[in-house]
Structure 1
Amino acid sequence: MIHFHKIFKNKLLFLLLISNCTSFSIFAQKYDLVIKNGHVIDGSGNPWFAADIAIKNGKIAGIGFYQINDALQIIDAQKQIISPGFIDVHTHVEDAIQKLPTADNFIYDGVTSIITGNCGSSEVNLANFFNELKQIQLSINVGSLIGHNSVRRYVMRNVFRDPTPKEQTQMENLVEKAMKDGAVGLATGLIYIPGTYSKTPEVVGLAKVASMYGGIYASHIRDEASKVKEAINEAINIGREANIPVEISHFKISSKPLWGQSNFTLNLVEKARLEGIDVNIDQYPYTASSTNMGTMLPSWALADGDSMVHVRLTNPETRKQIREQMLIGLKADNRKNFDYAFVARYKEDSTLNGKNISEINKFLGRKTNKETEAELIMDMVDKGGAQMIFHKMNEDDVVKILQYPFTMIASDAGVIQFNKNVPHPRGYGSNARVLGVYVRQKNVLRLEDAVRRMTSLPAQRFKIDNRGLIRVGYAADIVIFDENKVIDKATFEQPHAYSEGINYVLVNGIPVLENGKHTGRKSGEIIYGKGKIE
């Protein structure tokens, strides 16, 4: 006989119990966080659409419309833009991110993922590097290339010669180990020592190894000035011979006589793509570059370490030869002096930071001429050198390169300590500058296309799975910004200023920037390349 009164009594007791248990599954919120009332630009280049974004366990769990009781936390986007987090594929953070793990300058500019190890300079032991970053925890996702310069220096130091077959094999083995440890590809800096001493076949050999493990070849090409065309063709040829995708870093024209020829250099890239060679480019949206002072000297003068550089710079005949080559280069660039070169960081005398070479020359009471300025540069290099900013580009070329459909936005910056030195403003405002200046003010790009260049294009290019798009199942790396207010505030004169108009940044579903303020939270992950072996 069925006792209906007992069944009813037990059911009532059950309902009373679960009504007092807020964590029980049928009453728990479905999502950790929901972003409501936003205009979604999904990163694909498609037009924005109205939708809410639901997030659970660090992933995008839904795109639609939700109730406020569907989540533990609600963010009201107030009809601002919701986009994927920006991916900066050209950074240099090896020397600073351990001390500045919150990466504030990147986060305030909407960047949620970075690729370091560019221009041929990386940690050689990437397994140790990645483990160190996981130990300290970061506010940002980090991946790395393996740097040719670092590998060559590890095997050969800074010698000016070709590698022996044994040394070539040693370098290739180091690249292979790095790819297995999770590198996303090989990077060269063929304007820097010791990479500048290498010939194309050496690089092809290393690129072939990276290609075997699904990597990319990213290059600061051998020349960005008078021989920029030859340098682009070399990068393309390396891609052809190694059967590897090519990324030409911070694409530019840094030679005054060649201003206006960006159409020609872009056509070299387009021609290669039509041939079937996978070539893309990235760019920072400024008319000045930033690199070390040593690049102002002929590369042979920097060989074999600091002690030999000192010997050359203190030998009258050799010093004269170096100066003459510097002045030949100055004349070839159609310049009368070195006033285009500004000091960003000079350890020997920080009072010179922010001044150009001509100003420093006068400040020190030297004769006002290009010969004396060249002497000043050699003196500073002999005392350890400096980080420089070079105003050598033309705005029209910057715009033309920016409009090329396969151009990504990349800062070429490191993690910056606020109010220290006089760095390039690109480290604070590259993405906000594109959105505020080139989209809103100059109408050079559509908003949706600009976002594509910062999100899905770099993710696709560097084979970063599940990031770069607003898609269900993708990592919840998300930026919320006001398209009418977003702007860069950093200038060359006052570079230490965070971007404005970027109000929320989520890294793996965790708000790292909230109401325009860094929360200090560290939810970043390591981005591993396709060749990673567990």
Structure 2
Amino acid sequence: MNPSWRLPALLLLSAALAHAQPAAAPTQYDTLIRNGRLLDGAGNPWFRADIAIKDGRIAAIGALPAATAARVIDARNRLVSPGFIDVHTHVEGAVEKVPRGDNYLLDGVTTIVTGNCGGSVVNMAEWFQSLEAKGLGLNLASLIGHNTVRRQVMGTENRPATPDEIAKMKALIHEAMQEGAVGFSTGLIYIPGTYSNSDEVVDLARAAASYQGVYASHMRDEGAKILDAINEAARVGQEAGMRVQLSHFKIDTPRLWGMSDKSLALVEDYRRKGVDVVVDQYPYDHSSTNLGITLPSWALADGQAKIKERLTTPGSRKEIAEQMERMIKDLGHADYSYAIVARYTPNPEFEGKNIVDVTRLRGQEPTVANQIDTILEMVAAGGAQMIYHSMGDDDILRILRYPNTGIASDGGIRIFGEGMPHPRAYGTNARVLAEYVRKRGVLTWEDAVRRMTSLPARTFNFQDRGVLREGAAADILVFDPERVQDKATYTQPHQYTEGFDFVLVNGIVMVEDGKLTDARGGRILRHAAR
């Protein structure tokens, strides 16, 4: 018998049997997001597709008409993007009280990096475990702070560190990195880090670099000496062999507004030389930090008792006041009306008022000398958190247009209604989208989202976040480009963003139809190199 007839016959039989089998059941997913216009986070043009989520990850992207899921979200007429990654926050002491992170979730943030400006917890492992036990609403990673380890080893002494002290600080950094810290941060404008030299910073940074950590720096100066400060930060990256993130990049001195062309050119020059330097920015012309920065740094050394002693000794108080008068002139301010009290525990009546108004409340004429007296009394009483009008719009726009600028709030998790915080804690991302994309056309939707997602993810080595792709963590936003709007202002800061209709963290719906759920989708993001 000729076997050549058997192959077609077998194929026909196989086809017939296959046709007789019942159709395979459609794939079952946890969540389906249908009909969205997808912004992938990489800066590519949007495209229409469905997203299927399974076990906290993106399982499929594309046309999925046969797919079913326990939950279906109709994203028609809305944009779908990766969750925003805010790499510059300060949440220690607040995330424990509001572990869901309400103000960030409602602004589209699904991952935060804390421990910035040189300030962090010391025992990362213990802190991470306590947060996991509480249950987080968003993902959290932390840097280990220079000011923290220096204070731990040598207090707030105004002197160089000894070799033995350097070794002790490096040991603390090694321990934190082994416990999952994502890098090393400095706040070289603050005590005690401001008392260090560049060699110390480079030496300590090498400890984090050995774990492929990032160097994030609040530089030593953001005004007249900003170019020197950039050179110092780039030197750390170059000599330690690590990526550099320049925090809240700005020009904070009114008489130097416009100088961002030079500062950005220097950053780009280092990039051309092979030093991986990127920056972040918040889209406001007011900054926020403590009241102590208005004093010369030497006056803040050696602890609160020593500070009080200097402020109550006529000779040293006079020297501090004279130096403050020179400092304010150098900044280009006529008086302290640019400084607004955000939080002052000894007298909440001061909150929301500038130093000129507070001086009047204290029964004094608001001369500059009397304003300085007000500041010194407030510092002696424990200090205050402030908001400073210090930046110009031209610099904000120039920095925002720079392709390697990420968006970060420099804010914290807020207890709703408490104090007068900077509005950036509530509305940073929505402000970029509403003001600088929709209204002013400074950025495209695609590029703005890239700066909030894949750019920070790349910088901090979050390899499975910041983009919409199969296999990535399902940190996803569904938002209306016509409605997304920041609401928080300097006078009424406690207002949540509107327009982020759905926020998913690791596949868990944390915001549904614009309202927070009681779920807990967040997790600790420990450095993979640990």
Range of TM-score over shorter length: over 0.9
Cα deviation, 1:279-320, whole Å, max 9, x if unaligned, reads 000000000100000111111001000000000000001000
Which residue of structure 2 lines up, in the alignment, with residue 9 of structure 1?
A: none
Match of 1:384 among 379, 382, 385: 382
Secondary structure at 1:257 match in 2: helix
The corresponding residue for 1:176 is 174
**Aligned partners of 2:287 and 2:388 also within 8 Å:** yes
Question: 1:341 is matched with which residue?
Answer: 339
- Aligned residue type for 2:518: G
Match of 1:416 among 414, 417, 420: 414
What does the per-residue CA deviation read over 1:181-208, in whole Å, with 9 as the maximum and x for residues that have no partner? 1111000000111000100000100111
Amino acid at match of 2:470: V
Report the Cα distance in structure 2 between the residues aligned to 1:263 and 1:480, rounded to whole angstroms: 36
Letter of the aligned partner of 1:181 in structure 2? E
2:448 equivalent to 1:450:
yes
Within 5 Å, give how 1:179-194 maps onto structure 2: 179-194=177-192
8 Å CA contact 2:26, 2:67 repeated in 1: no
Q: Residues of 1 paired with 2:227 and 2:119: CA distance?
A: 24
Q: Counterpart of 2:59 in 1: which secondary structure?
A: strand
Residue number in structure 2 paired with 1:16: none
Are 1:36 and 1:51, in contact at CA under 8 Å, matched by a contact in 2? yes
What CA deviation, in whole Å up to 9, does each residue of 1:164-185 have, x standing for no partner? 1111000011111111111110
In structure 2, runs of 5+ residues without a counterpart are 1-21
**2:29 corresponds to which letter in structure 1?**
Y
Correspondence for 2:9: none
**Does the 8 Å CA contact 2:26/2:66 hold for their aligned counterparts?**
no
Using the TM superposition, name which of 28-37 and 236-245 deviates more.
28-37
Matches within 5 A, 1:439-518: 439-518=437-516
Which residue in the other structure is 1:214 paired with?
A: 212
**In the TM superposition, what is the alpha-carbon distance from 1:454 to its structure 2 partner?**
0.2
1:244 aligns to what SS in structure 2?
Answer: coil
Does structure 2 conserve the Cα–Cα contact (< 8 Å) formed by 1:326 and 1:374? yes
SS of 1:183's equivalent in the other structure is coil
Match of residue 7 from structure 2? none
SS at match of 1:294: helix
Between the aligned partners of 2:150 and 2:307, the Cα distance in structure 1 is: 19
Q: Deviations over 1:452-505 (max 9, x none)?
A: 000000000000120000000000000111111111110111111111111100
Deviation at 1:257, TM superposition (A): 1.1
Q: Determine the C-alpha separation between the residues in 2 that align with 1:69 and 1:169.
A: 58
**Deviation of the 1:335 alpha carbon:** 1.7
Secondary structure in structure 2 of the residue aligned to 1:422: coil
Residue aligning to 1:34 = 32
What is the distance in 1 between the residues matched to 2:250 and 2:406?
13
What letter matches 1:461 in structure 2? T
**Hey, what does 2:308 align to over in structure 1?**
310
Alignment counterpart, residue 245 of structure 1, candidates 243, 246, 263:
243
1:151 equivalent in structure 2: 149
Tell me by how many angstroms 1:29 deviates.
Answer: 5.4
Partner deviation per Cα, 1:335-386 (whole Å, 9 max, x = no partner): 2110000000000000110000001111222022101100100000000100
The DSSP-based 3-state class of the residue aligned with 2:502 is strand
Equivalent AA in structure 1 for residue 323 of structure 2: Q
User: Offset at 1:78?
Assistant: 1.5
Shift of 1:79: 2.2
Matched with 1:78 is 76
SS of alignment partner, residue 416 of structure 2 = coil
Residue 127 in 1 paired to residue 128 in 2? no
Q: Which moved more, 1:64-73 or 1:310-319?
A: 64-73
Q: Aligned partners of 2:412, 2:366: CA distance in 1, in Å? A: 34
Task: Provide the TM-score with structure 2 as the length reference.
Answer: 0.95
Structure 1: distance between partners of 2:98 and 2:25: 41
CA distance in 2 between partners of 1:106 and 1:470 (Å): 20
Q: Distance in 1 between matches of 2:27 and 2:269?
A: 54
Q: Are the structure 2 counterparts of residues 373 and 152 from structure 1 closer, same or farther at C-alpha, using a change threshold of 3 Å? A: same
Residue 521 of structure 2 is matched in structure 1 by 523
Q: Identify the range of structure 1 (520-529 vs 215-224) with the bigger mean alpha-carbon deviation.
A: 520-529
CA apart distance, 1:26: 6.5
- 1:437 corresponds to 2:429: no
1:107 counterpart residue number: 105
Q: Check whether the contact 1:181–1:531 (CA below 8 A) recurs between aligned residues.
A: no
Cα distance in 1, alignment partners of residues 235 and 337 from structure 2 = 36
**2:284 counterpart residue number:** 286
Question: Which residue number corresponds to residue 94 of structure 1?
Answer: 92
- Aligned-partner Cα distance in 2 for 1:116–1:269: 24
Residue 40 of structure 1 contacts residue 50 of structure 1 at CA under 8 Å; is this kept in 2?
A: yes
Name the CA distance, whole Å, in 2 between partners of 1:285 and 1:231: 22
Instruction: State the TM-score, normalized to the length of structure 1.
Output: 0.94
Partner of 1:22: none
2:351 is aligned with what amino acid? Answer: N
Look up the match of 2:138: 140
Closer/same/farther in 2, CA of residues 68 and 33 from structure 1, 3 Å limit: farther
Alignment partners' CA distance in 1, 2:268 and 2:528? 27
Judge conservation of contact 1:191–1:223 (CA < 8 Å) in 2. yes
Aligned to 2:426: 428
Q: Secondary structure, in 3 states, of the residue corresponding to 1:433?
A: helix
The aligned residue for residue 352 of structure 2 is: 354
Tell me the residue number matched to 2:253. Answer: 255
Q: Is the 8 A contact 1:219 1:248 kept in 2?
A: yes
Tell me which of 369, 384, 392 is aligned to 1:371. Answer: 369
What SS class does the counterpart of residue 475 from structure 1 fall into?
coil
Report the secondary structure of 2:493's partner residue: coil
Does the Cα contact within 8 Å between 1:160 and 1:194 map onto a contact in 2? yes
Residue 407 of structure 1 corresponds to 405
- The letter of the residue matching 1:367 is E
C-alpha distance in structure 2 between counterparts of 1:531 and 1:291, whole Å: 32
Residue in structure 2 matched with residue 201 of structure 1 by the alignment: 199
How many Å separate the matches in 1 of 2:509 and 2:344? 36
Residue 163 (str. 1) matches residue 161 (str. 2): yes
Determine the C-alpha separation between the residues in 1 that align with 2:224 and 2:371.
22
2:517 and 2:366 map into 1 onto residues whose CA distance is 50
* CA deviation vs aligned residue, 1:490-533 (integer Å, no higher than 9, x gap): 0111111111111100000010000000002111011111331x
Quick one: distance in 1 between partners of 2:28 and 2:333? Answer: 64
Q: Which residue of 2 aligns with 1:268?
A: 266
Structure 1 residues without counterparts, runs of 5 or longer: 1-18, 20-24
Deviation at 1:404, TM superposition (A): 0.3
Mark the CA change 1:367 to 1:336 in structure 2 (over 3 Å): closer, same or farther: same
**2:4 corresponds to which residue?**
none
CA distance in structure 1 between the partners assigned to 2:518 and 2:85 by the alignment: 20
Deviation at 1:66, TM superposition (A): 2.5
